[in-house]
A and B are shown apart, each in its own frame.
Chain A
Amino acid sequence: MAIEKEKLLDMYRTMVRIRIFEEKIAEDFAAGKIPGFVHLSAGQEANPTGVCANLRIDDIITSTHRGHGHVIAKAGNQYSLAPMVAELYGRKTGVNKGKAGSQHLSDMDIGVLVAEGIQGTALTLAAGAALTAKLRGTDQVVVSFIGDGTLNTGRFHEGMNMASAWKLPLICYCENNVWAESTNIYDVTNLTNITDRAVAFNIPGVSVDGNDVLAVYKVAAEAVARARKGEGPTFIEGKTCRRFGHFQGDTHLYRSQEEKDECMKRDPIPRFRKRLIEMKVLTEKEADKIQQEVQEEMDKAVKFALESPFPDPEEVLTDVYA
């Protein structure tokens, strides 16, 4: 499958944007500038990037507590980072007016329906969005990103059963970073291949190297095509790993040094950069330039956030009812 040069470069930029975003947030969180809980997706960038490169703006995704990458990837590179950063800083100019923060960052204008902090709830919600597409006869596709830990929630089972019984245009993309907080997925799931879970619904279950953006892109492309044609849901596992702890402040001592080193080595960004250079889509210089541009973009976004006002206290009472 030949992917256009433009698209490849776009994907690369998306991954860099996510990484730089996450690293800056880590820094500012440590400096006490960001309130609340923050879960970073650094290391997992190839997953949302490869998936969302197959989606249209009117397609829908649902996200998780570890959601910054999903939003950046779904929005596309033309979408400013500033309102997102402002949201994390709790500002009035944030995407969600400072009411969501990191865990609930979402924006229906770009097809990010929700980011849910209760594990599994977003998946059933995604099934509902897919039902809308089906009832309305559009060919929209819905992708629900979940973590491996969510595989063991009842909502995974009920939601996937519903999607399968009704042949909904839903893709459940599981970012298997092996850990749910400090719990290893293989300690709480008696399976070698989590894609066996698809058997329970009689739907395709595909595993892919979630740190190889082109492999993710390809697998997602097939699933998206199936869903668009009305052939029903797919379950995808992206095998990946997180570079930071579960949340900022987590020392992740439950992981061996060896495993962490291994994860650092599997970094999807240098890997893709090298590949693009080999493919002659990118030169070292161009890659550095992208890095530089994104860095500047992020600095500006942070400046915007810092200069933005906090919401007015009266806003506590608004937005409860439509």
Chain B
Amino acid sequence: MLKGVKVKEITYLQAITEAVDEEMARDPTVFLMGEDIRQWGAPLGEFKGLFEKYGGERVRDTAISETAMLGAAAGAAATGMRPIVHIMFSEFLGVCMSDIRCVLTKTRYMTGAKTKFPATIMSYSGAGVSAAGEHSTCPYGYMMAIPGLKIVVPSTPYDAKGLIKSAIREDNPVQVLYHQKLISDRLTGEVPEEEYTIPIGKADIKREGSDVTVVAIGLMVHRALSAAAKLQEKGISIEVVDPRTLAPLDKQAIIDSVKKTGRLVIMDEEPKTESASSEISAIVAEEALDFLDAPIKRVCAPDTPIPFSPVLEKAWMPDEEDLLKAVNEIV
């Protein structure tokens, strides 16, 4: 993928910063608002330096008013700006959910295309840092159920930068969910020196294989890759498909992989019920059942809130072992 281009190694966090920075430099209608982005560059620091560079008009702190932020993002988007709104932890999206479900994503349709909403919402998702029940959620499934919303979930610095840039340029509302553990673990990876974007709606095969397809999302991509390496030693060849975009979902990439391997495991850091894994299973059952040689397996979190204690949280999160077990059940 990166053959023949000049590359550099950056962290997942830097990738986010660079994406927003480059788009702000490129397009004066792009602006950023959220809580504590001027001083901290947001709590995990992904917008650091942008206030100094672009000033307080375009890098705006807000009061703790998520509904006003989301509503204002919609209003600014509909009148010619490209707002990026940072709703810190994805559980806070619940605070302003009707502004997302109704205003931002339905209005274009309801006005018969008289409006458009090029707004980007950026939030932390994910567990693994003992942040307890309200700061650890991956809201994939329930956000996928919002028509009109696009959702990107980058798992690497390369994907983060390319997808966030596309999200900002996109003429539709896009929710970006980046995993806080990938930030705190300081994940690094290569990105081109040159400018690039990644199209929204395209999955990426993170590892090719022939025996089992593992569709993994966000942080789970990394767990799937390390499980795949172990399985390889046992002679089981895993294909890891990273959807990267959950809406619109790249169904074809998933179906093509299943056609090749005949087996599907979905690894998703959400309580199982109504998760992204539910939708992916349903699609494959509906459209590629004949190609399956074994039942679909889902490696998800249990249907409980997310516990605080590291011991409990570890038990809650899907991990490599859970995946190995699921694969062993079907090969």
Say if the two chains contact directly (CB < 8 Å).
yes
Asked if A204 is at the interface of the complex by the 8 Å CB criterion, the answer is: no
A158–B58 Cα distance when bound, in Å, is 20
A103 (CB) vs chain B CBs: closest residue: B110
Give the contacts of B72-86 with A (CB-CB under 8 A): 72-81, 83
Chain A residues with CB under 8 A of B107: 104, 114, 116
Given that A127-B71, A155-B71, A158-B63 are known contacts, is A320 also in contact with B147, CB under 8 Å in the complex?
Answer: yes
Which residues on the B side are within 8 Å of A100 (C-beta)?
110-112
Which segment of A74-82, A118-126, A232-240 sits at the interface?
Answer: A118-126
B33 and chain A: residue at smallest CB distance: A131
CB of B68 within 8 A of CB of A116, answer no
A320 touches which one: B63, B74, B148 (CB < 8 A)? B148
Q: Give the CA-CA distance A122 to B72 in the complex, in Å.
A: 9
* Chain B residues in 8 Å Cβ range of A319: 108-109, 112-113
Alpha-carbon separation in the docked complex, A116 to B78 (Å): 14
Query: What residues of chain B lie closer than 8 Å to A117, measured between beta carbons?
Result: 102
Nearest-neighbour CB distance to chain A for B59, whole angstroms, equals 12
For residue B261, give the distance in angstroms from its CB to the closest CB of chain A: 32
Q: A260 an interface residue at 8 Å Cβ cutoff?
A: no
**Given A114-B78, A128-B76, A162-B31 contact (CB < 8 Å):** no
When A127-B72, A321-B172 are in contact, do A162 and B80 touch as well, CB less than 8 Å?
no
Range of interface residues on chain A? 35 or more
For window 292-310 of chain A, which residues contact chain B by CB distance below 8 Å? none
Chain B 202-221 against A: per-residue CB contact (8 Å), 1 yes, 0 no?
Answer: 00000000000000000000
CA distance in complex: A38, B25 (Å): 46
For chain B, give the interface size range.
35 or more
Task: State which of A105-113, A214-222, A271-279, A283-291 sits at the interface with chain B.
Answer: A105-113
Which residue from A113, A125, A135 sits with its C-beta under 8 Å from B58?
Answer: A135
Residue of B69, B74, B99 with most partner-chain A CB within 10 A: B74
How many cross-chain pairs have Cβ atoms below 8 Å apart between A and B? Answer: 157
A165 beta carbon closer than 8 Å to chain B: yes
In the complex, which of the residues B67, B72, B98 contacts A131, with contact meaning CB atoms closer than 8 Å? B72
Nearest A-chain residue to B115, judged by Cβ: A108
In the assembled complex, the Cα of A130 lies from the Cα of B107 at a distance in Å of 18
* Closest residue of B by beta carbon distance from A128: B75
Contact call B71/A97, Cβ cutoff below 8 A: no
A109 proximity list for chain B (CB < 8 A): 114
Chain B residues near A143: list those with CB within 8 A.
none
Distance A228 CA – B137 CA, assembled complex (angstroms): 43
A94 at the interface (CB under 8 A from B): yes
15 additional A-B residue pairs with CB within 8 Å, beyond A96-B111, A113-B115, A322-B116 = A96-B110, A100-B111, A108-B115, A109-B114, A113-B78, A116-B102, A128-B72, A128-B78, A131-B81, A132-B80, A136-B80, A159-B72, A161-B63, A162-B72, A321-B172
Binding site for B on A (CB under 8 A): 60, 62, 94-100, 104, 106-109, 113-114, 116-118, 120-133, 135-136, 142, 154-155, 158-159, 161-162, 165-166, 318-322
B residues engaging A (CB < 8 A)?
31, 57-58, 60, 62-63, 65-81, 83, 98-99, 102-103, 107-118, 147-148, 150, 171-172
